Chains A and B, each alone.
Chain A
Amino acid sequence: MSRLQGGHIDRNAPLNFSFNGQCYQGYQGDTLASALLANDVQLMGRSFKYHRPRGVFSAGSEEPNAMVELRSGARKEPNTRVTVTELFEGLEAQSQNHIGPLNRDLLAVNDLFAPFFAAGFYYKTFMWPRAFWEKLYEPVIRSAAGLGRLSMEADPDSYDRGFLHCDVLIIGGGAAGLAAALTAARAGAQVLLADEDFQFGGRLSSESHTLDGASASEWVGQTLAELDALPNVKLMTRTTVFGAYDHGVFGAVERVSDHLATPGEGVRQTLWRITAKRTVLAAGATERHIPFANNDRPGIMLAGAMRSYANRWAVSPTRSDADAVAIFANNDDGHLTALDLMAKGVNVLGVIDPREDAPRLGNYDLFAGGVVSGTKGRLGLKSIQITKNGQSQWHDCGALGVSGGWNPNIHLSSHHRGRPVWDESILAFVPGKDGPAGLIPAGAANGQGSTAAALAGGKAAAQEALGDLGLAIRDVVLPEAEDAEIAQAAFWHVPGKGRAWVDFQNDVTVKDIDLAHKENMRPVEHLKRWTTLGMATDQGKTANISALAVMAELTEKSIPETGTTMFRPPYTGVSLGVLGGGDTGSNFRPRRLTPTHHWAAGLGAEFVEVGPWMRAQYFPKDGESHWRETVDREVLAVRSGVGLCDVTTLGKVDVQGADAGEFLNRLYANMIATLPVGKVRYGLMLREDGHAYDDGTCARLAEDHYVVTTTTANAGPVYRNMEFAHQCLWPELDVQMISTTDAWAQVAVAGPNSRALLERIVDDLDLSNEAFPFMGCAELTICGGLRARLFRISFSGELAYELAVPARYGHALMQRLMDLGQDLGVTPYGTETLGVLRIEKGHAAGAELNGQTTPTMLGMDRMVSKKKDSIGAIMSRREGLSENTRRLIGLKPVDPDAPVVAGSHLFAKGAAQDTHSDQGWITSACFSPHLGCHIGLGYLENGDTRLGEIITAANPLEGQEMQLEVVSAHFVDPEGGRLRD
């Protein structure tokens, strides 16, 4: 065990865990990374392309190397960074991307073939022969690609979403974030402080710096206690603000229970949508490294990460206490690692610093003007080669900390095309001024690297936000803190022969960038795609700037001239499960139930989704073994007795006003204004481009009062278009409308006995054919005073009515009609029967009005009135539409036992079957109990003149080909006597 003294771990709370089946122990407060290092495990995974042995490189969310498959079974999560995985009792992890044991990976052979896997390898290699792609290359690449493996099981966890609003959102709870929070909170602003870590403090937890002469954790503790006690502050740990969106909206993921073995009854993660008036970006900085030959061995990590492991987790980076640690840094900050390690009793070999005038900050060996030029140790660092003044020497070394300076975490500031600005004084990009409106960068994220500068920067940012919000500022006294200047050299990589890794996750080396440069892939966007640099789970957080610097050197340009790195959300990976926010399975969208749903369920109905609605599909009776048996019975019952069907889901729009008739005239292709009061008329709506859009009925209840219906699917869009037509086209018309779909339960009462049944419930309306003829409508009362509306309309072709009552009476009405209609053969029917009845009658529905059909095709071109203007009228007469020769027809199989399959395409008998000879298609089909055979509706070229012709219907998907006779679409009662008598 290489545990040191101190640290923010709870030594009274040991935790057992396993890695690759081996059991270990860590403590509460550990990450998987710190616990593995404490157990002397340096080798944690294999690299993506060359399968090089890799260990942990960082101590945060930027980790490119050490990723594992966490947990097992359905909860297995691949590519999990050990650096952000909190240790919990019983944690299981497996290394990934290797065949055979981790220390003897068979795919390591790829490393020997490295010269063949250079930049652009995929583009160059798998181009020919063409036939090899599908059979050979793709399967091989697919099996080798990726890192961890998915469980292939459904995610057992639940997720949630929430909305938060605040005056000031502070992203990051380090020195700058805490100072900003304190400043904003004391001024009374609504403050939300979020940090991706499981404890606040940021780098303060990782450094040995003091605040006001005491340990930084004291100030952090006091500050958090004050913030926690304030009602206007919300503190959120384990919360990554991953994206800046428009108008002060931010996306964040809170990992509610990822630190537990299972979420238990709770959710795993919550997606937060945060709306903030002002935002302080205090996301800190990420250390960069210095590429040199074989710089990717386990044991080599960022110097700042090494400090984190020592100070926060009390862990030495070496496998053995005897091993020495070396530091390779081009800046003063890197030297602090040597001091902190020495203070913890770690054996320090020395600090190698390419600066000739590098300072010696303590009692360690300094190799000023030196570089690390090579390393040895296949599965873990054993020695390093230090080159100075042209002389090279090997030194035993168990771990190496590397620091090439720090990059401000500017990511969110560039989410809105904000261009980062190069700051030569700190050799890094800082946030530009053109980022998301209201976002104020502060602290290390703004290039304010020292603790004092970060504290002051956080305070100033909060004061700026308070000023913008018009809140009075109360002074906050900041603690005294170190204020070292950033001193570093522009030293970006160690030139040499060996491979020097720039991007560890994608195995991109300095040589690859050199090759990309030679192949003229010089703009950073090309460089990225040619070499895959900066891709995958870490998005190049530790690589991008180094790569840019190498390319700048090759092109002999400055870094800002070479390019900038731009970022898009998410800052770190976000699981798809949490983006769904729990809206999976039956929660995917709301389900709407009809007023008679429970009545239908009580009768054992099967239900079907129709748009957002659940509708009764059919009502099976005892002894019926197949849905067709049920539907055939229901159809015949309607045609011989009386049937009941809930048609509430059809859209209903109540239109009132002196100009209601004129308004509807402009919406419907046919005349509506001339409709007498007490009458109903079929209405056809077109889109402005001239295609058929929707149909329904228009009932005129009074001079200035219509009720129109829409199809179920278009209830929302048609209402929206009606409002558009009124508000945006003809606001001068005196008309008002409201959707009443949910207000009225509507029941179709269809069949020859429908009048007899209705006569038993209407209070005093004469239903005789003379008094209330076909297409009549009336407001009335039923059942002794219940307000109702009655429409004599028919979708089935039978004598039929639709009766509407206030929605809450729908269930009772259905029950009353069932009770009173027993002797009339009353039968409930569902959407299947509804469909069969309308196909038998030749009524168009959704399949015929599919958005590509015209009034001419529907045989309704004469319905488009020329006496008035209406939406779509002009365009429906344009050449391409009016000359379309396809017509709606009926189809009957020559062999009465043969099926008719909707979707089949129609061809002249014996004709070749291709797109040129295609003459139309079958839109709807069903078995007709009335005719005793299958029937269909379809569009056929010149179909209206081809009645009696035998044509071919082809369904090549299922190898079907049928001979069909072209017939009238009106299979039942073509004269329409039944519905009129």
Chain B
Amino acid sequence: MLIPHPLLGLRDAQEFTYLGDASLMDRPDPTLDNAETAFCDYVFMRDNPAGVHRELWFHEQGDRSWLVVTRNTITHEILGAELAKDLKLNRKDAQ
């Protein structure tokens, strides 16, 4: 597979380490009353869609960026790749 790195262009997937569902970026607030339940969901529960999936890839043999890659798990078509850091900062700014 080839991953379109936002800074480096098309890179071979072998340069990356795969982590999984991008929902791992949404770590629960540990001060919530139901924090333990929220963390249980965060750690153990994942959607496993046949289709479009947003997932985390680490450019370990490259520039060490964490990317959020949007991939169709049926066709392996890659619909986009963004820097996780930018996504997270934008989301925090929006809050």
Contacts from A to B (Cβ < 8 Å)? 245-249, 275, 416-417, 437, 688-689, 716, 720, 723-724, 726-729, 731-732, 869, 873-875, 877-878
Contacts and interface: CB of A to CB of B under 8 A. Distances in A.
A802 B17 CA distance: 32
A875 B39 contact: yes
A723 B1 CA distance: 23
Contact of B58 (A724, A874, A875): A724
Interface in B74-91: 74-78, 83-85, 88-89
A869 B60 CA distance: 27
A724 B25 CA distance: 9
Contacts of B92: 731-732
Interface string B6-27: 0000000100010100001101
Contacts of B74: 417
Contacts of A416: 75-76
Contacts of B83: 727
A417 B78 CA distance: 17
Contacts of B65: 727
B25 to A, nearest CB: 5
Nearest to B42: A688
Interface in B7-55: 13, 17, 19, 24-25, 27, 30-31, 35-36, 39-40, 42-44
A245 B64 CA distance: 26
A437 B77 contact: yes
Contacts of A724: 19, 24, 56, 58, 66
B88 A247 contact: no
A875 B43 contact: yes
A314 B56 CA distance: 60
Contacts of A728: 24-25, 56, 66, 84-85, 88
Contact of B43 (A249, A689, A723): A689
Contacts, number: 73
A249 B13 CA distance: 11
Contact of A246 (B1, B24, B31): B1
A878 B88 contact: no
B1 A247 contact: yes
A416 B39 CA distance: 37
B39 A874 contact: yes
Contacts of B42: 688
A727 B84 contact: yes
Contacts of A716: 60
Given A247-B76, A724-B66, A874-B36, A729 B17 contact: no
Interface residues on B, range: 20 to 34
B66 A249 contact: no
A875 B43 CA distance: 9
B78 A247 contact: yes
A848 to B, nearest CB: 23
9 shortest interchain CB distances as A-B pairs: A869-B30, A727-B85, A246-B1, A727-B66, A247-B2, A246-B76, A731-B85, A728-B25, A728-B84
B68 to A, nearest CB: 9
Contact of B88 (A245, A720, A729, A874): A729
A878 B35 CA distance: 11
29 contacts: A246-B76, A247-B1, A247-B78, A248-B2, A416-B75, A417-B74, A437-B77, A688-B27, A688-B39, A688-B42, A688-B43, A716-B60, A720-B17, A723-B58, A723-B66, A724-B24, A724-B66, A727-B85, A728-B84, A729-B25, A729-B88, A731-B85, A731-B89, A731-B92, A732-B92, A874-B35, A875-B36, A875-B39, A878-B36
Contacts of A688: 27, 39, 42-43
A340 to B, nearest CB: 45
Contacts of B35: 874
A325 B16 CA distance: 60
A869 B29 CA distance: 9
A600 B43 CA distance: 45
Contacts of B30: 869, 873-874
A688 B60 CA distance: 21
Nearest to A689: B43
Contacts of A247: 1-2, 76, 78
A873 B19 CA distance: 21
A875 B38 CA distance: 10
Contacts of B31: 869
Contacts of B19: 724
Given A245-B1, A728-B66, 18 more contacts: A246-B1, A246-B13, A723-B58, A723-B66, A724-B58, A727-B83, A727-B85, A728-B25, A728-B56, A731-B89, A731-B92, A732-B89, A869-B30, A875-B39, A875-B40, A875-B43, A877-B36, A878-B36
B58 A720 contact: yes
A723 B64 contact: yes
Nearest to B60: A720
B88 A731 contact: yes
A726 B58 CA distance: 13
A417 B77 CA distance: 13
A875 B19 CA distance: 20
A731 B60 CA distance: 18
A245 B36 CA distance: 42
Contacts of B25: 728-729
